Each structure stands twice: as structure tokens, then as C-alpha cells.
Structure 1
Amino acid sequence: MSSVESSLLTDFDHVKAAVTEFARGFNHSYYQPLHLAILNGDWESTKAFIDNDPTALTAKVTILGRNALHVAAVGAQWKLVEKLVQHMPANTVAELDLMGCTCLHYVAMGESVNAAKALVAKNPSVTQVTDFKGFTPLIYSITSTNCKEMVWYLVLNTTDERPGCPFSGPSSSHLVALLTAAGFHDITMHLLQHYPNLATISDSNGSIILNVLSKLPSHFQSGHKLGFWKTCIYHCVPVELESGNTIWNALQILVPSIKLIRDTKLRDVYAVKLVEFVSSQASTMNDNQFWQSFVSADIIFSATSSGIVELLTICFRFFPDLIWTHIPNEGYVAQIAIKNRQEKVFSLLCKMPIICKLLVLALDESQNTTSHLAARFAFQTKTISGAAFQMQRELQWFKEVEKLDHPLHKEVKNQDGKTAWQVFKQEHKELLEEGKNWIKDTSNSCMLVATLIATIAFAAAITVPGGNNQDKGIPIFLKDTTFMIFVVSDALALFSSMASLLVFLAILNARFAEEDFVVALPERLILGLASLFIAVVTTMVAFGAALSMLVKERVKWAPIPIALLACVPIALFTQLQLSLFIEMMKSTYGSHFSYIRK
């Protein structure tokens, strides 16, 4: 539970004292049947009790001073809430229990918008009633992020009136913090457009909205790691769905994952709009001291270390001097981005070449250059498949940062008396060994398969299907087209498997130095896997062709199931190895750090 959410709970000592006082004259045994009937959702028993004693409709029926409506709401009996409210006087709907809450406070934490509508229809002012801490039902609705519809309904039916003044009073800081943390950025934007004062609410940590957003990288596009198809859908799906856009509306119903991706994009778009609006409002205030504390160093640090490049881009545009923010024991923005492997943030800085060069030249408190920082091991690279490619990514990052650093910094020693390259070797000693073992294990496994295929392909070449003519030694099926498919595929299987075998043998005999993990070893591994894949495919083709020649005279349709069955191991091999192969290609030949060189 967050500090904001925990603040919703009323002080226990206060409640205990009130309950003790109320309990002195409370007839618990009399109201217990009604209490249990409501909690069980038994409308017949509830109605019978109220018909027998009409005063029970408005009476306090629990030791916590709750009436029948309170009990139904706390028990999530929404249908009973809708039925009871029809018989309740309007003023009873707005009554507080000893916890300081109306029935709507509890309904707001659920998902029944119909129950909330029934209460508001009975007493429209109930949305303005506050608990003992001055919180309206709207704030209670945001503590549960499951029902955005409830939040929207209460936002549209709550005004900035006394006694709560939810959009300008003391509780407004809780409101924007909860809304932002819940990811309801479109609702927050709606409120900010009607109540611009909410945009510049701040505390000791600076802007409340920006502070919360700086800790939520998943609320921005830069924080997503979607697969290929999800990325395509993300870029295609519209943020706003008009009533006439039947295609996307239908797709959302048929494929629920599309709705999730659209909701994600909606949140991302409005998060950027929110940062834009907040920064714009703050920049118009003619108070230099205000906006320097409004976008605090903590916000810049959180956004940089989390890689929220959108937030930083907007903040630097409105407040250019923020780029020179220095965090004690962490350094400038460039140093923080390098230490945390935030490539997109570093790319943003590289678009400002002079500023970037000045930031890169800075030394930290331990006399570390930026190359020293890039040399440190980053644990987040563990998300990359295979220790060898983790090592490759680490080397690529180090080399690219080193190119931007001053040439003399290559030999500069830090407080521990080590150059950047020495730091890299020490920090990555364990990863180097893991990468070496990973490549060797992979190569040994692939060599075994390649050897097996080569043996089978060679044996098949000298014992062709159907045998040879006894007089001339010519294969019996030589003039058959299927036989030619067999010969070609068998030859390709032999040649590609032998090539794969030789490549993997070369890998096992490599020196495995740090620099070899950048290009040399990955290229060999890519070549070996590609050759092995060709060998597997051509072996299956050769086997299918051979089997078809032997049985097609008797079973004409035999080649069809044979071909389908031959596709099974090929598809399995592709599914298991293709993602790794593509990742190898991207990691070796992709442009991960090309933006640094631009």
C-alpha cells in the first residue's frame, strides 16, 4: 500500500473511541439478522426485516455505525445497493459511518457504476461529501485501478465546491498523485484543462505529476519491449476510436490483446501530453526559483536512470538548463545514462553535440571518465539471450562511448589506479568465462547434429533409393524427377553439414579474447547455425523424396503426407532457433548504437 493510499484510512484510535461510545447503546443481537442478510445478498430476508421494522431502513445496524446502504456497499452487494436506495431518504444516502465514509465512498472502490449512479440520482450532492480527512468518493475510486469507468463517472459528477474542494483544496495533491500513478492520464488531462492549477502542484520532491511519471517508465513508449507483431499493431491502432471505425472496434472485441495494446498506446500518448501540459504551465510562471525546484534533480535522475526519454526531451525543451543537472555521487545526465545503459537518453544528448562533448569530458568524484563508467558491468544485459551476446553488447557499448570520449582518457587512471579497459576486463571476467562456455556448449551440440546429418547424407549418396542397374551401375530411378530432387537435396545436406561442422570446429579452436566477441565469434556462430539449418531442411527434403519414390507406385497420394510430416522437424527447428538467430543478426549487424556516431 502506498503512502497516499494508506492516508485514506482513518486514525484507528479515533475510530476505536467512537465505536466504544456508540456500542454502549447499540442492540447488536437485534440487527444481526439484517446485517447477515445484506452481506449474503438476500433481498427477501432484508425486505422482510425492513417491512417489519421500517426504522431499520435508516438505523445504524452495525457496531461501526453503518446503515443498511453502508453494509451492502462494504459487502459488494451492488444489486442490494440499487434496491435499498430506492426506499432511502435522500439525506440518509449522504450519512457517514464511524469510519467517516458515505455509502458512495465504498461503492467508488468497486466496479458497479450503476450503483454509483443510483446513489447520485437519489442525492446529487453525495459526490461532494468528504470523509474525516477531507477526501471525496472520487479519491477513493482511484485507489482501485480496475474500473476506469467509475473514475470517469465520478470526475464528471464531482465539482470543486465546499467542503471538499477536491480540485483546489488540500486533497488535490493526493488526487493528481493517485490519478498519475494509476495511469489514467487522459482523465488527468481532462482535469488539468478544467483546473490548470493542478498542473503546478508540487511538494518537497518537486512537481507531483512529473515525480510520479519519472518512476513509471512503462507508461511511455520508450519503456516497452513489445514483440514484432505487437509493435506493428501498436503503430497501426488509432488512439481515438470514432463510432464509424467499425474495423478496429470489431477487432478489439474479437482479439482482446488488441484492446490491451490500444489501451497501452492511449496511456503512452496521454503521458506525453501530460508532461507537455505540466511543463508548459510551469514555464509560464515568472518565478525562476519556482521552476528550478519544480523539475527537481530527483525527477531528472529518475527519468534518466529509467530511460524515459520523452519526459527528458520535453523538460529540456522548456527548461534547457536542466541538462546541466548534477546529482551528487551520480554525476551529470550523460554519466547517469551511461551507467544505467540508457541508450535512448544518450542518443538524445548526442543530438546536442557540443553539450554532449562537455558532459562526456566530465570526471566523477572517483576520477572516473565516461569510459570508466561504460566499462562497468550492467546487470540488465542479462535480458539478452546467451552470455556471449551479453558480452558482445557490453563491448559494443563500451567501444561506442570510448569513441566519444577524449583520446587521452584511454590512459587515464581512476582513483583505484585502473584505466577504462582494465576496469572493463575486471568487471566482465565472469561474463567472459560464461560467454566462452556458452559458445562452446552451443558449438558442441550443433557439431553433434551436423556430424549426424553428414553421416546420413553420405550413406544415402552411396546407397541410392531403388538401387543401381546391375549392368552399368546407373541408378534405376535416374530419369525420375523425384530422384533428381533427392540427389540435389542430399548433396546440399552433405555440403552444408560439413561446412557447419568446420565452422563450429573453428569456433572451438578460437582464442576467446574480449575483442573476439564483438564480430569474429558471433559471425562464425551465425554462419554455423545458417549452414546447419540448410542441412536440416535439405535432409528432410531428401528423405521425403526418397520415401516418395519407393511408395508412390503403390500409393499415389503418399507424397502429400510425407511432405507434411517432413515439415514438422523443420518447423520445430525454426521455432526453437529462429528467434536466437534473428537476435544474433540484429546484435551483430544491427544499428544499436548508430545514433551515437551520427
Structure 2
Amino acid sequence: MESICVASRGIVREELTRYNYQEWKILMKNYLRGENLWDVVESGSVSTSIDEQRDAKALHIIQLSCAPNIFDQIKHFQTAHIAWKHLAEVCRPKFKIQPHIRPVVVSDVSEHKALYKFVENGDWEGTSSYLRDQPNAIFWTLPSGRTVLHVATIEGHKNIVEGLVYLGKKQLVKMQDEDGNTALALAAGYTENVNIARSMVNVEGGEELLGIENKEGEIPLLMAANSGRKRMTRYLYFRSSSHVIHHQSSHNRVLLLKRCIQAHIFDVASKLLESYGELPIEFLSVLHELARMPSAYLQADLWQTVIYIFKKGNLIDVILIMMLMTEKLMGFARNLFGLKSKNRESIFEHENEFLQILRYYKNNVSKFNSSQLRDALVYDAMLEAAKYGNVEFINDMREANHDLLWAMDDHGRDIFSYAVIHRKHNVFLLMHILCGNKDIINYRTDMFGNNLLHLAAHLGPLSDMNRGDVAAWQMKIEIEWFKEVEEVVHVKCREAKNEEGKKPEEIFMETHKELMKDGEKWIKETAGTFAIVGVLVITVMFTAIFTVPGGLRQDTGMPILIKEKRFIVFIVADVISLLTSISTVRIYIKLIGYRYAPVDFLERLPAMILSAVNFLSLSLVSMMIAFCAALGIVLQNLWSYKDFVVGIVVLTVIPYILPFWDFRTYIRLIAHQKSNFMERRLLDGSSLGFHKVHM
């Protein structure tokens, strides 16, 4: 039989993802037809050995053209027909457009245009006058099935909604549009106006609206939670009777809990869980949402970070953490004077509810056996928690069932492998308190022969690096992380080879090649730009020394005002500016011609860049001081200009502050990585409830 080329590039333009199924399906179907394989995929009948070979090739082609996450769903299927049907079921719903508010265009309204115009403009007098003449117009519907109450709700006119509800009563508020949404559903899903919702719920029989489902099978409470509207969700939940909530399907109850956690509406989620005596097993799927919560409640305290930096950090880190402290103090001053908004809602405001939910699941997870937890994907949730650095989740689940700590994915990677891959320092430190012999963990390899140091050698996630000028600082963090893991793992890991025959250092060099190039490029371009600035300052200050204010004596060539204090200030500032500019240019020229190695990004290059910026800043400040001194000499007889001169002197501090503004990203990285707050809590074990576990 003729061989078939199964290179994905020759089959489809893009691998199958959630978003390109329709295009992928057309290209794949045409390709299979051209290879005379489509009949096997379509019918699924395999009667001869030749058909079995054709089916295997078709299945291989389909699997090869899928993205990794899609491939994982069909890799266990034995026939192309089953795989094809599964992809159709899984991918089609992903392209369904979510419902949205379709605006009403008054000019397109076939009847009662004046009424809709009044409603659109928020004119209750016109609306009520029109309805007195034509009372049945209140129940007239648009082609979309929406009434004038739907329109008033969308527009957010509370007074008109209240008036319409008073006139239309229960009959009006229960009317649904073509999507099955009542006016309350629209208020819940698309607005945050609780007063509008309250006016509808408070009408006689209005509480029935809370349980009316739309065509998607969702009640207003579910829609509000899906939109992340916290005030609306809380109102609807506490107005909904237990009958309304528990009358929902198990899927909808789980969905409500998931949406509340995703939107950080922890108080509602906590109350929902409290309504159950014993947690149903289907609610364990919500653990994935809890696992994805960042470890926000155990972030390092600034002063703990400062202490650690001053004890173990180098000079650069000390300088940068001092700058961070200055920034924190400025933020405190802004809060003190009311310059920062007090209306921001943070996850920290719901710490107690979040921890309460976590403790609730901890108590219930202990009631299930390992088989049930595996079927409910709780082991996968542990890996998710490691990915997001949620050490609280890992600790609570470990106490509920110790076996969960050894969760492992299909590639043989455990939570510590995930912590290394995703640079989660707090989870990685768990190894220090889990067992006396850490070699059991840190010498473990995955199915590809990679130990923890191999995984640390790969390029880390760059989600927090969205600017090109931080490539150099990211390179520094990458090297620090690699060195930190190297100090922890077994000595044999440093020279161990994976299945591809590569050592950790070789992988590090390969995966960080582009990042190092970007960092090198940025450093050289920046050095070139600042070197030009330094040369200009040198030129100006070198010239200024021979054109001193007041002039020179004709007989001796000495400055006339040499005994003036302001002249001495001018000369000293000029010399300092000249010398520091020369030092700046020398450093930047060295950076431009420097042969970069990965280890240089750790300390040498940051030190050179920081010192060059300091020299250049000092040079500019000195130049401004020299300028002010010269200006004072020129205007010495015009005392009315003293305020002007003083103002210029004050402004000389600005060139010194501005160069450090772009170092805030690096400061945060240093502060985050060097923090020992979590390390102290983990190694102590008291505050998180850890105990030494020997294996």
C-alpha cells in the first residue's frame, strides 16, 4: 500500500485547538478523502486486515494534527471513527457565542415607538402618559421577545422599572424573551443594579423569578455569579430559598460554587457549602478552582524581606530593597492623604471565607478513599496547586489524605517537579520538612529521565515579564533559581543525563539562548544610548571649564572670580560631572564590547548597569549644580532672581530619581525571590500545621 505522509504541516495549517475546529475539520476531511481513508473514519467498520491498517493510519493522522491538550483526550481511543466523533462533541460547543445584550434601536421598533423612546430617555412622565392611553402596550413584545421592562432594565432606569413593575405586576415580570430570560435575569447577568432586581423580587409573587430558568438552564443567580457581579450574587443568593437552590440539578449547584470561587465571592460559596451536611462527591471537582488560587495570604512581609536581604543579599540587592522601601513609603503617604481609591475590593478582604472553604473541604476529603479521590481528579488538583504556588491547599489536602502529596501526572512529575517548572519557591521548600532523607524526592526522575535540575534548566514562565527591557533581569532570576535547585538536589543530579543524553547545564544553555540574546541586545542598545548622553555631558563640561563665568584675567589667565564661593561650587561640580561622565562612558563602552556569559547576568552585569546609572545620574546632578552656580554668579546683583535660582536647585534632584523608576520590576522580583517569610513558616511548621514526616 502506498505510504502516507503524516507530517502535520502537510495536513492542516494549524493543529486542532478549541478555536479552529471548523477549519481543521474541513482540511482534515479533504486530506483523508485524498488518501482514501475517509470511508473508514465515517463508517467505523473494520472487517479486514487492510481496513485495520487504514484505520490505524487515519487515527494516527488525526492524533498527529491535534494540539497536546486535545491529543490527551483521544490518545486512548482505538479507532479513528470514535476519535472523530469525540472531537466533534468536544470542540463544537466551544464555538458557541455567549448570549449578550442586543441593544434596542427605536427606529426599528414596528409599534409603540414613542413608548420605547420615552423608556430609552428615562422619561417616566412620558412613559406613564403613553401607558394610560394604551395600557396593553406594556405587554407588547419585540421580535426578540423582550418587553418594555426588559429594555428599561438594560438601560438601567430604576424609576421606570419600578413604575412598570407596579403597573404590570406578576404577569409582566415573568415574561421571557427568546432566550428564556426574564427582566430579572438580564439585571442579574448584565448589570450590577441591585435596586432594579429588588424592585422585581419584592413584587407579589416575585420570588418565583429566582427559580425561573432560561433556555440554557440557568437561573438569575447562576448568571450573576458567571458575570462576577458580587453584590448582585450576594443579594440573589440570600433572597433565594433553599428550595430554589437545592431544586437545581447537581451540575448547576457545582457550577454555582465554581463560579463563586472564580469570582472570589467566598462568602456565598461558604454559605452554599454549609447547607450540606455531608459533601457530595461531585463537589470535589471544585477543588481545581481552589487549587488555582494564588498563595496570596502568605506573601512575604516587607520587613522580613529587608532583614533577609541585609543578611544574605549582595550590595545590589541591598540598594534595590532600599528603593523598594522608599516606594512603599510613598504608597503609604498616598493612602494617608486619600490619593488612593478606597473602593478597590481585594482577595485579601475574603481571607477568612477562603480559608473556611479550604478547611471545609479538608474535613470532607478525609472521608473519601484514594480511589474515589483519583476518580474525582483530586490528585490533579494537587498538581494545579503546585503550579500556582498554593501551599495552603497542598498542606490541607496532605493532612486530609497523605497520599495526595505524592500526586503524579502522566509524565511522572510530582508537585515538586511542578514547583520547579513554574518557579514556586514556597512549594519547593516543602521538601525541607517532608522527610529526613530528601534524596528520595530530589533524585527522582520523570519518564523522560529528567531530574529536578533538568526541569529547573528549562526556561521558566514569563507571564510577569511583558516588557523587552526586563530580559536581562529575568535572566538573572533564572540563573538564581537554577543555582538554588542545584544546591538542594543530589550531587549526582548535576552530571546526570536525561534520555536525550543532555545534562542540566546543556539544557539551560539551549533553552535560555534567546533570552540571553534579548538581554544582551537590550543592554548593548541601552549602553549605546547612555554612552552618547555621557559623551555630550563630557563635551559640555569640558568646554565649560575653559569658559568660566566672570572671565579670565588678561595678565595671569586666572579666573577673575576665583575667590567667590559660588565659583568654587561651580568648579567642583563641573569636575565631578566631568569625571563621573567619563566613568559612565567607560562602563558603557565595556558593556558594548563585553562577551556575555550566563553567569554574568547573576551579579556582574547588574552591578555594572546600576553603577553606570548612578554615575550618569550623579553627573547630571552635578551639571545642574554647576549651571545653578554659574547662573547665581551671573545674576549676583539681581536678588529678585533668587527664588528662580532656588527652584532650579530643587529640580536638580529629579534627574537622580527618574533613572531608577524602571527598576521597580526588578525590585519586586528581588523582593519576591529573596523573601524568607514563607521559608521561616515552612521550616518552623507551627503556623501552617506542618510536622516532620519521615518516609
**TM-score range normalised by the length of the shorter chain:** 0.7 to 0.9
Change (3 A) 1:236 1:90: farther
Q: Does 1:516 align with 2:596?
A: no
Q: What's the counterpart of residue 244 of structure 1?
A: none
Q: What's the counterpart of residue 365 of structure 1?
A: 447
Q: Distance in 1 between matches of 2:184 and 2:288?
A: 30
Q: Distance in 2 between matches of 1:286 and 1:430?
A: 48
Q: Does 1:592 align with 2:674?
A: yes
Q: What's the counterpart of residue 260 of structure 2?
A: 179
2:160 aligned partner, one-letter code: L
The 3-state SS of whatever aligns with 1:479 is coil
Written as runs of structure 1 = structure 2, the 5 A alignment for 1:350-499 is: 350-352=432-434, 354=436, 357-380=439-462, 382-383=465-466, 385-470=469-554, 474-499=558-583
Q: Deviations over 1:145-173 (max 9, x none)?
A: 3x4322222222111126x5358865322
Q: Distance in 1 between matches of 2:230 and 2:679?
A: 41
Q: Distance in 1 between matches of 2:224 and 2:330?
A: 29
Q: CA deviation at 1:82?
A: 0.5
Q: Deviations over 1:428-456 (max 9, x none)?
A: 22333333333333333333333333343
1:177 aligned partner, one-letter code: K
Q: CA deviation at 1:200?
A: 3.6
1:391 aligned partner, one-letter code: M
Q: Distance in 2 between matches of 1:442 and 1:269?
A: 47
Q: What's the counterpart of residue 420 of structure 2?
A: 338
Q: What's the counterpart of residue 274 of structure 1?
A: 357
Q: What's the counterpart of residue 56 of structure 2?
A: none
Q: What's the counterpart of residue 24 of structure 2?
A: none
Change (3 A) 1:6 1:287: farther
Q: CA deviation at 1:325?
A: 0.8
Change (3 A) 1:314 1:544: farther
Change (3 A) 1:329 1:234: farther
The 3-state SS of whatever aligns with 1:258 is coil
> Structure 2: 5+ residue runs without aligned partners?
1-18, 20-90, 100-108, 301-322, 684-695
Q: Does 1:140 align with 2:223?
A: yes
2:562 aligned partner, one-letter code: L
Q: Deviations over 1:110-142 (max 9, x none)?
A: 333222222232225335432267644322332
Q: Distance in 2 between matches of 1:81 and 1:42?
A: 11
**Stretch moving more, 99-108 or 534-543:** 99-108
Are the equivalent residues in 2 in contact too, given 1:127–1:158 (CA < 8 A)?
Answer: no
Are the equivalent residues in 1 in contact too, given 2:210–2:236 (CA < 8 A)?
Answer: no
Q: Does 1:85 align with 2:153?
A: no
CA RMSD of aligned residues (A): 4.4
Q: Does 1:210 align with 2:292?
A: no
Q: Distance in 2 between matches of 1:49 and 1:587?
A: 64
Q: What's the counterpart of residue 21 of structure 1?
A: none
Are the equivalent residues in 2 in contact too, given 1:334–1:356 (CA < 8 A)?
Answer: no
Q: Deviations over 1:456-508 (max 9, x none)?
A: 33333344322344556553333322222223222322332233333334434
Q: What's the counterpart of residue 13 of structure 1?
A: none
Q: CA deviation at 1:318?
A: 3.6
Are the equivalent residues in 2 in contact too, given 1:447–1:504 (CA < 8 A)?
Answer: yes
Are the equivalent residues in 1 in contact too, given 2:620–2:655 (CA < 8 A)?
Answer: no
Are the equivalent residues in 2 in contact too, given 1:104–1:126 (CA < 8 A)?
Answer: no
The 3-state SS of whatever aligns with 2:639 is coil
The 3-state SS of whatever aligns with 2:382 is helix
Q: What's the counterpart of residue 643 of structure 2?
A: 560
**Stretch moving more, 379-388 or 176-185:** 379-388
Q: Paired residue for 2:408, among 326, 329, 352?
A: 326
Q: CA deviation at 1:541?
A: 0.7
Q: Distance in 2 between matches of 1:573 and 1:215?
A: 42
The 3-state SS of whatever aligns with 2:429 is helix
The 3-state SS of whatever aligns with 1:171 is helix
Q: Distance in 2 between matches of 1:435 and 1:539?
A: 31
Q: Does 1:309 align with 2:391?
A: yes
Q: Does 1:189 align with 2:189?
A: no
Q: Distance in 2 between matches of 1:319 and 1:235?
A: 43
Q: Distance in 2 between matches of 1:564 and 1:119?
A: 62
Change (3 A) 1:78 1:312: same
State the structure with bigger RCO (CA 8 A, min sep 6), 1 or 2. 2
Are the equivalent residues in 2 in contact too, given 1:375–1:424 (CA < 8 A)?
Answer: yes
Q: Distance in 1 between matches of 2:428 and 2:378?
A: 20
Q: Distance in 1 between matches of 2:122 and 2:209?
A: 25
Q: Distance in 2 between matches of 1:140 and 1:416?
A: 50
Q: Deviations over 1:157-202 (max 9, x none)?
A: 111126x535886532222122222221233224434x145x9455
Q: Distance in 1 between matches of 2:589 and 2:541?
A: 20
Written as runs of structure 1 = structure 2, the 5 A alignment for 1:205-244 is: 207-217=284-294
Q: Distance in 1 between matches of 2:155 and 2:472?
A: 56
Q: How many residues align?
A: 557
Q: Distance in 1 between matches of 2:360 and 2:331?
A: 24
Q: Deviations over 1:324-370 (max 9, x none)?
A: 11111260111112112223332344454647543221111111121
Q: Deviations over 1:80-132 (max 9, x none)?
A: 22112223444664466665444433333333322222223222533543226
Change (3 A) 1:540 1:34: closer
Q: What's the counterpart of residue 551 of structure 1?
A: 635
Q: Does 1:265 align with 2:348?
A: yes
TM-score scaled to structure 2, two decimals? 0.68
Q: Deviations over 1:190-222 (max 9, x none)?
A: 4434x145x94554xx72432223345497776
Change (3 A) 1:437 1:61: closer
Q: Distance in 1 between matches of 2:329 and 2:291?
A: 26
Q: What's the counterpart of residue 115 of structure 1?
A: 196
Q: Distance in 1 between matches of 2:359 and 2:565?
A: 68
**Stretch moving more, 414-423 or 172-181:** 172-181
Q: Distance in 2 between matches of 1:432 and 1:31?
A: 68
> Structure 1: 5+ residue runs without aligned partners?
10-27, 238-246
Q: Distance in 2 between matches of 1:437 and 1:320?
A: 49
Q: CA deviation at 1:30?
A: 7.4
TM-score scaled to structure 1, two decimals? 0.78
Q: CA deviation at 1:585?
A: 7.1
Q: CA deviation at 1:255?
A: 4.6
Written as runs of structure 1 = structure 2, the 5 A alignment for 1:277-296 is: 277-283=360-366, 285=367, 287=369, 289-291=371-373, 293=375, 296=378
Identity fraction in percent: 25
The 3-state SS of whatever aligns with 1:122 is coil
Change (3 A) 1:552 1:351: farther
1:278 aligned partner, one-letter code: Y
Q: CA deviation at 1:46?
A: 4.6
